[in-house]
Amino acid sequence: MELGPVREQALLASLLLRPGRTVSRQQLLDGVWGADLPGTGDKVLPVYVHRLRKRLDAHASAERSGRSVIDTVRGGYRFAPASAQVDLTRCEEIAVEGRAARDSGDLDAAVDAWSRALGLFHGEPLTGIPGPFAEGERLRLVERRLVLVQDKVDCQLRLGRHAEAVGELFSLTTTHPHNEALAALLMRALHAGNRQADALDVYATMRRRLVDEQGVEPGAELRRVHEAVLRGDDAFPPTAGLTTWHVSIGHVTTGQPTEQPDEPRRPGQARRPGQARQQRRVRQELPVEIGHFTGRERELDLLVAPADARAVTVRAVDGMAGVGKTALVVRAARALRDRYPDGCLFVELHGHREDRETAGRHRVLRRLLRAVGAGEGEGSEDLDESAASWRAATASLRLLLVLDDAARAEQVRPLLPAGPGSMVMVTSRRRLTGLDADRRVSLSPLGIDEAAGLLTRIVGGEGSDRERIAVRELATLCDRLPLALRIVGARIQDRPLWEVEALLARLADDERRLDELAVEDRSVEAAFQISYDRLPVAEQQAFRALGLSPTVRLDRLTLAALVDWTPPDAERRLESLADASLVQRVTADRYRLHDLAAVYARRVAAASPDEVAAGRSGVFRLYVTAARCASDWGASFPTGPQGIGPFTDWEEATAWLDAAGGELVDVVAQAVAVGRLDDACWLAEGLVDYLTRQGRFHECRSALETVLPVVGRATDRRMVSALRTSLGIMYGLRGRYEQARAWFTEALDISRRAGDPHERARAAAGLGTFANLEGRIAESMTHFAEVAGLVGTFDHDGWLMGSVMTRVGDIHHQLEEHDKAYDRYLEAIALAEKTGSPRLHGKTLLRLGGLQLDLGRPAEAVGTLGKAEDLARRLGDVPLYAAVLRRLSTAEAELGNPQAAAELLHRSRAILDEQTGTASEIAIRHRLIWHGAVAEDLAGASDFFERSTTLPAADANRARISRVLDDLGRRRQAGGDGA
């Protein structure tokens, strides 16, 4: 059946996927058109609905004769659930059958059910349907389909039907290249079909993709499957009757004997069929293996994995100086050397020494030619001729060649042997992207357990608990870098504990740490200096600046602020430093400087104090700008940096702060530590709204308490009062009204003495807000009267004006002065939109929706609350979101949709049950208790009340809610007696 233009189809999808629920006109407009609204506004909706009805009603069932499949209801439209069958509903029903069959042990029935459910998908869901709603549903349905596939394949594998699953899994892993669950299932299926090499290739491809593109290692489940395949674990047994395979590190064999290689032949000489190799001396040049080799199991697996016998295999290992690259390849080469009958050669390329690089290739080629017994070409001074002689000499050999410490790919290419089946392992401090390699290993420092274990083995013995703690702390201060660990280990061998602890104290001092990590000719600082000296000038400046970053993880905006570059220029320098292994990619757009590298960077930067001052100024201002841009307070910061900097809006600034995680308090502390007191105060104030709306009250308090002792030394005197107001807001939102009142009172006194009307208004508004929440309306009105007298002095502050209007509207609402409340709410909404304050906007819409409900206009309330719901979801404001859902529930109930109302109420309760308590949340819980009691669900309301009383600061309201429940109980009893 033809469904008309795509916009009409999008509108139909918005109704179909919300069966039985009223969808407001505004929700339809936002979901179908998004920001690109039609010029006629919501007048286009009846036209589209009329066209859809004409098409759909012609095919409606006899039972619905005379009735449309799309109902017009108060507030919007609703798709009648019984009017048509929706594939999605049928899919979920069949999926439930599948889960039940699986849980009962009938795996064949489960596979059949899930196959039928998947058969309802035809290509990409909602293909070509435009609009934000369809886009969100499309992503959700694609994810749902993958879950069904994974459930089905898991049962197929448990039934031994692996052949059925392989083709589908190959297709899906191509479409979803980062899905580790699909890759794990594909490895299991291949393993069950005795295709271990293919299974290992799947893992290697996935790991390379994750590391290169996202900067993360595979998850635990994928690693577990990989290890099982390597071990030949029968946790995933092969098909019965096939030859049993055994997997060991480096190669896969059957129970049959393998053909042994014949004798080596003379370099450059072809061998006739059946001719035995002529004897020659086979060189084994691998260095003595370093003792106490620790960890690196996964990296070893990659390096010793089977290679293509028809080609030359190249495997590259890169990583920062001192991370253990050479030790790893030597260990791998020793594990593989029996496979290379023509010798194992080792060459130190000295890639970091410019004076040896050009001549080095000639020297290396001459030595390699001598090593394989070929004198021809040894005396040539032409690099190309020497390389050609090397290829000719190795064309019939199977060699293992280790090239250590390469500088660039072009340094390596002339040295590659030509013999099929040969392998070359290359180490470099840079990622040699210009070198064709079938495996790349990027080494990071050891894990803390491995690092402590290595240090313990060097020192000898397990020691006492106190010694084990000291060793672990030493490993951490060595940044888990093998070179540093071996230097420290050599220094503390056979030393008493007090000397170990003395060294620990010295290493804890950044100024001395690099000096302590040196012994004879081994030095961590010297290793870093070699890498640093090889950098171009711009990369050297970037590296020095990164040592000043106040966070461990950083991005291009951080470097751009530190050096005053554009973000694209900063990103190019970060990529270059990552290729040089001086910074580590953490995610696609985040990097980190290892601890010891950061210490070295700060040491180098210290020689340029002006550069250090400029860098710190830039980066702290970036954080202040981000915090203020993400804050709902908008332009209510009359002092300090203005503007939005590199951010386009509050959502982008919020996402940037989210990426910093729990390091924001550390940024405040570091600003204090380096004397940037104004920046520290501005940042702590700016973070209050961002942190509290996410429920991160502990971080908010820590940031404010970090700067409060030093605020007296800040040049911005406004902060003395502003920080106390911020503490009042934080405590008030947590429901700790007494502490909030104390901080607001102190802030108000200070601002009055200082003659600062702006901060005086903020403190008075805070006192009025929380007095109102505690039910002290008269006191609240007194404080807001003081604010009203100051209005003319802060008309530049739209957020504060809007907040005041909202609270004044609340008082009018409580006094049942509805017209005045309505006007104040509309004024507050206009100010919130003007200043870009989404949280104020959402909270005021919630209040306006509540007023509309009290006025008996639920259809209007649905539209208003729908906007508030979208804002709350985007903000991640849990209490606001739960409150909006509760109000929407009331609106649906008043529109005659009890099922939708019950579902919304359940969602609101579920959200709160997962969160910690705040004052707003406690109030929401109390209103939900009232709603349940009014609906005569006294048991449910009572249970919800009991759980709510366990929340912080619930004491103030417990007695009031208890009285409400008691009163309702008595009224119900009286009603029953009367009956």
581 and 566 in contact (C-beta within 8 Å)?
Answer: no
Cα separation, 678 vs 711, whole angstroms: 8
Q: Which helix (H) or strand (E) holds 441?
A: strand 439-443
The per-residue pLDDT for 234 is 52
Q: Is the dihedral of CA 283, 285, 289, 294 positive or negative?
A: negative
**To the nearest whole percent, how much of the chain has pLDDT over 70?**
82
The closest alpha carbon to 134, from 3, 18, 1, belongs to 18
pLDDT surpassing 50 at residue 270: no
Given strand 344-348, what is the order of strands in its sheet?
A: 344-348, 400-406, 423-428, 313-319, 439-443
The closest alpha carbon to 831, from 634, 678, 592, 685, belongs to 634
Average pLDDT, the chain: 79
The closest alpha carbon to 599, from 544, 530, 679, 655, belongs to 544
The per-residue pLDDT for 952 is 46
For 199-245, what is each residue's pLDDT tens digit? 888 888 888 888 777 777 888 888 888 888 877 765 543 333 222 22
The per-residue pLDDT for 59 is 64
CA dihedral 152, 153, 154, 155 (to 10 degrees): 60
Cα separation, 767 vs 394, whole angstroms: 85
Question: Lowest mean pLDDT: which of 18-32, 679-693, 912-926?
Answer: 912-926
How large is the angle between the packed helices 898-913 and 919-934, nearest 10 degrees?
A: 150
pLDDT surpassing 50 at residue 921: no
Q: What is the DSSP letter of 287?
A: P
Mean pLDDT of 537-552: 91
pLDDT surpassing 80 at residue 739: yes
Mean pLDDT of 78-82: 73
The per-residue pLDDT for 966 is 58
Q: pLDDT category, 646, cuts 50, 70, 90?
A: very high
Kindly calculate the radius of gyration of the chain based on its CA atoms and give it in whole angstroms: 35
The per-residue pLDDT for 472 is 85
267 and 419 in contact (C-beta within 8 Å)?
Answer: no
H helix intervals, 591-663 = 595-605, 609-630, 650-660
pLDDT surpassing 80 at residue 775: no
pLDDT surpassing 90 at residue 120: no
* 3-state DSSP assignment of residue 72: strand
pLDDT surpassing 80 at residue 945: no
**How long, in residues, is the chain?**
979
The per-residue pLDDT for 852 is 92
For 260-269, what is each residue's pLDDT tens digit? 333 344 334 4
* 3-state DSSP assignment of residue 286: coil
pLDDT surpassing 70 at residue 134: yes
Cα separation, 489 vs 290, whole angstroms: 14
The per-residue pLDDT for 2 is 66
Q: pLDDT category, 75, cuts 50, 70, 90?
A: confident
Q: pLDDT category, 66, cuts 50, 70, 90?
A: low
Question: Lowest mean pLDDT: which of 163-177, 350-364, 488-502, 900-914?
Answer: 350-364
894 and 903 in contact (C-beta within 8 Å)?
Answer: no
For 888-913, what is each residue's pLDDT tens digit? 988 988 888 888 888 888 887 777 65
The per-residue pLDDT for 938 is 47
Mean pLDDT of 184-189: 87
Q: pLDDT category, 923, cuts 50, 70, 90?
A: very low
Mean pLDDT of 862-874: 89
For 555-578, what is each residue's pLDDT tens digit? 999 999 999 999 999 999 999 988
The per-residue pLDDT for 455 is 83
For 425-440, what is each residue's pLDDT tens digit? 999 988 888 888 888 9
- Write the CB contacts of 739 (distance below 8 Å, at least 6 apart in sequence): 731
The closest alpha carbon to 485, from 544, 512, 445, belongs to 445
pLDDT surpassing 80 at residue 678: yes
**To the nearest whole percent, how much of the chain has pLDDT over 90?**
19
Q: pLDDT category, 360, cuts 50, 70, 90?
A: low
pLDDT surpassing 60 at residue 254: no
- Report pTM: 0.61
The per-residue pLDDT for 769 is 85
> Which range is most confident: 23-37, 131-145, 159-173, 404-418?
404-418
> Which range is most confident: 136-140, 332-336, 635-639?
332-336
pLDDT surpassing 90 at residue 153: no
The per-residue pLDDT for 936 is 46
The per-residue pLDDT for 965 is 52
pLDDT surpassing 70 at residue 334: yes
Side-chain half-sphere exposure of 885, counting CA atoms within 13 A: 24
Mean pLDDT of 594-599: 86
Q: Which residue has the higher pLDDT, 345 or 362?
A: 345
